């Protein structure tokens, strides 16, 4: 008789799940960190969304008066992307940014989850510079007044900025060099081509900072801003440009602080309902499938522990929508196990041995598990790329949960069955 191999893989999976469980449970993880010195990169706390931890809601008006009607939609979308990049600099988890129309006026709403220094956030978002280049028209001198200039707006703005860098010019003064993207480089070249020998004004937040004279057409998409910069002001300006220059001015019109009491209450109810559902599933699986049902429940615990560990490591921002996506993936994991055990029971009724029935049951159940999970993953990917940030949380947890459910159902469940379900010894 062949000796049974030591079940290394299932034991490793169980140990990994136990470690993941300690990592998932915040009090246990905090205690473990106090006993063992871990690198800073291992210090992970749960990242929670606005609906769970509270935060602030900022509402802005968008000034599109200088934007052509045909370009307003793209400008608003660009503005939304820039603001999202900027709030990410504050460590805000899963910022939710919405745009809305009110007649001719456009509004922007920014949700900042768990932000500690709201005043800094307001300042940084509001002060992101609006850079634009304007052609200069010299008005004739009259007896009553000196020669003056008329500044004609162009379509070259900070929305086309690719990067910025501070440096020192030949005179030892700080300057800011900017590089435009491909589209901006073309616009900049056309603008300098038709203004050779003429001044070209550079405005920052509607304030004139420089009027250089264009000596020749400038290709390559690079420009240099000089003025009364200090090293610190030049550095701050570069940081803001690299974070994203606003394609249109915005004005803060309201600020609202949101408490987390309602969200935490909803979270408690969600977790409680999930636990009740899990216990009912456990009772059903054990009552109907006996030993194999017990193994399925163990697999489900391993699946939950590992999935939550992945959520925490990435990290995934846990909102009520994200929790709902994870609970849905748990249901799909249970469904996969039910399919497997139903097939195994059918094979046992045909008179196959336990080992053969397990192999054949998994083989027959795999196509159904594969197809149903693949469809869910496709929908999750579509939702993640095209939906709002609120729905993205749902799609991401569902996608990760489905991938983990396939792994646990096909690999973990099978290994545990082979470990615990043994053929009777030959008499």
Q: Are residues 356 and 219 in the same domain?
A: no
Two tokens at 55? Answer: 């935060």
pLDDT tens-digit map of 287-316: 887 888 888 888 889 999 999 989 888 878
CA distances from 248 to 110, 205, 388 (A): 16, 10, 22
User: For the CA atoms of 182, 188, 193, 197, what is the dihedral angle to 10 degrees?
Assistant: -150
Asked if residue 23 is part of any domain, the answer here is yes
Q: Are residues 293 and 158 in the same domain?
A: no
Confidence of residue 331 (pLDDT cuts 50, 70, 90): confident
Residue 369 pLDDT > 80: yes
Angle CA(38)–CA(42)–CA(43) in degrees, nearest 5?
95
pLDDT tens-digit map of 13-64: 888 888 888 887 777 666 666 666 665 545 567 777 777 777 778 888 888 8
Q: Which of the pair, 284 or 125, is modelled with greater confidence?
A: 284
pLDDT score for 139: 74
pLDDT score for 381: 93
Among 308, 311, 334, 299, smallest CA distance to 408 is for 299
Q: Are residues 34 and 80 in the same domain?
A: no
Looking at the chain, the whole-number percentage of residues with pLDDT higher than 90 is 7
Q: Are residues 336 and 232 in the same domain?
A: no
What is the domain-level CATH number for residue 162? 3.30.1360.200
How far apart (Å, rounded) are the C-alpha atoms in residues 125 and 122? 5
Mean pLDDT (whole number) for 314-329: 85
Q: Are residues 282 and 147 in the same domain?
A: no
Asked if residue 333 is part of any domain, the answer here is yes
Q: Domain limits at 274?
A: 8-47+260-420
Asked if residue 315 is part of any domain, the answer here is yes
For the chain, how far is it from start to end, CA to CA, in angstroms? 12
pLDDT score for 243: 58
Q: Are residues 145 and 267 in the same domain?
A: no
Query: Looking at the 3D structure of the chain, how many domains does it have?
Result: 2
Asked if residue 427 is part of any domain, the answer here is no
How far apart (Å, rounded) are the C-alpha atoms in residues 73 and 191? 24
Domain edge (last residue) among 235, 258, 281: 258
pLDDT score for 376: 93
pLDDT score for 427: 43
Q: Are residues 165 and 303 in the same domain?
A: no
pLDDT score for 3: 47
Domain edge (last residue) among 258, 283, 302: 258
Domain edge (last residue) among 227, 258, 289: 258
Q: Are residues 38 and 143 in the same domain?
A: no
Q: What is the DSSP-derived secondary structure letter of residue 316?
A: P
Is the omega angle on the peptide bond into residue 130 within 30 degrees of 0, that is, cis?
no
Q: Are residues 268 and 210 in the same domain?
A: no
pLDDT score for 355: 84
Asked if residue 170 is part of any domain, the answer here is yes
How far apart (Å, rounded) are the C-alpha atoms in residues 331 and 414? 19
pLDDT tens-digit map of 265-293: 777 887 888 888 889 888 988 888 788 88
pLDDT score for 1: 40
Top-ranked range on mean pLDDT: pick from 88-102, 256-270, 278-292, 369-383: 369-383
pLDDT tens-digit map of 383-423: 888 876 668 888 999 999 999 988 888 888 888 887 777 65
Q: Are residues 287 and 225 in the same domain?
A: no
Residue 88 pLDDT > 70: no
Q: Are residues 152 and 206 in the same domain?
A: yes
Two tokens at 166? Answer: 């501070």
Asked if residue 2 is part of any domain, the answer here is no
How far apart (Å, rounded) are the C-alpha atoms in residues 285 and 292? 8
Asked if residue 321 is part of any domain, the answer here is yes
Q: What is the mean pLDDT of the chain?
A: 80
pLDDT score for 399: 93
pLDDT tens-digit map of 149-166: 788 888 888 778 877 888
Asked if residue 317 is part of any domain, the answer here is yes
Looking at the chain, the whole-number percentage of residues with pLDDT higher than 70 is 81
Q: Is the pTM of this model over 0.95?
A: no
Q: Are residues 214 and 309 in the same domain?
A: no
């Amino acid at each position: 008789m062949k000796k049974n191999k030591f079940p290394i893989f299932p034991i490793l999976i169980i140990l990994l799940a136990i470690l993941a469980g300690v990592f998932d449970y915040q009090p246990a993880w905090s205690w473990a960190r106090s006993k063992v010195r871990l690198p800073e990169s291992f210090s992970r706390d749960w990242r929670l969304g606005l609906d769970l931890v509270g935060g602030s809601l900022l509402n802005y008006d968008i000034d599109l008066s200088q934007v052509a009607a045909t370009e307003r939609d793209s400008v608003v979308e660009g503005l939304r992307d820039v603001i999202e990049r900027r709030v990410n600099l504050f460590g805000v988890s899963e910022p939710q940014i919405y745009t809305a129309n009110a007649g001719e006026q456009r509004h922007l709403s920014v949700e900042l989850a768990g932000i500690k220094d709201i005043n800094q956030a307001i300042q940084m978002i509001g002060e992101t510079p609006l850079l634009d280049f304007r052609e200069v028209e010299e008005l004739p001198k009259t007896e009553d007044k000196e020669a003056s200039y008329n500044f004609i707006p162009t379509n070259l703005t900070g929305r086309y900025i690719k990067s910025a860098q501070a440096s020192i010019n030949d005179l030892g003064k700080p300057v800011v060099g900017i590089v435009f993207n491909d589209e901006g480089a073309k616009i900049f070249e056309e603008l300098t081509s038709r203004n050779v020998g003429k001044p070209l004004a550079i405005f920052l937040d509607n304030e004139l900072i420089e009027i250089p004279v264009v000596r020749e057409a400038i290709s390559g998409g690079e420009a240099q801003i000089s003025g009364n910069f200090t090293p610190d002001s030049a550095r701050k300006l570069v940081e803001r440009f690299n974070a994203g220059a606003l394609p249109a001015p915005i004005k803060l019109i309201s600020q609202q602080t949101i408490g987390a009491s309602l969200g935490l209450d909803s979270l408690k109810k969600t977790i409680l309902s999930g636990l009740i559902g899990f216990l009912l599933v456990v009772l059903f699986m054990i009552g109907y499938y006996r030993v194999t049902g017990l193994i399925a429940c163990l697999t489900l615990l391993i699946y939950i522990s590992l999935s939550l560990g992945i959520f925490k490591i990435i990290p995934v921002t846990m909102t009520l929508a994200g929790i709902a996506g994870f609970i849905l993936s748990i249901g799909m994991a249970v469904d996969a196990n039910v399919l497997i055990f139903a097939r195994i029971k059918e094979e046992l009724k045909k008179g196959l041995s336990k080992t053969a029935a397990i192999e054949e049951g998994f083989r027959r159940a795999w196509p159904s598990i594969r197809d149903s999970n693949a469809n869910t993953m496709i929908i999750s990917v579509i939702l993640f790329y095209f939906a709002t940030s609120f729905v993205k949380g749902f799609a991401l947890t569902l996608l990760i949960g489905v991938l983990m459910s396939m792994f646990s159902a096909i690999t973990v469940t099978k290994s545990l069955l082979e470990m615990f379900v043994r053929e009777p010894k030959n008499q």
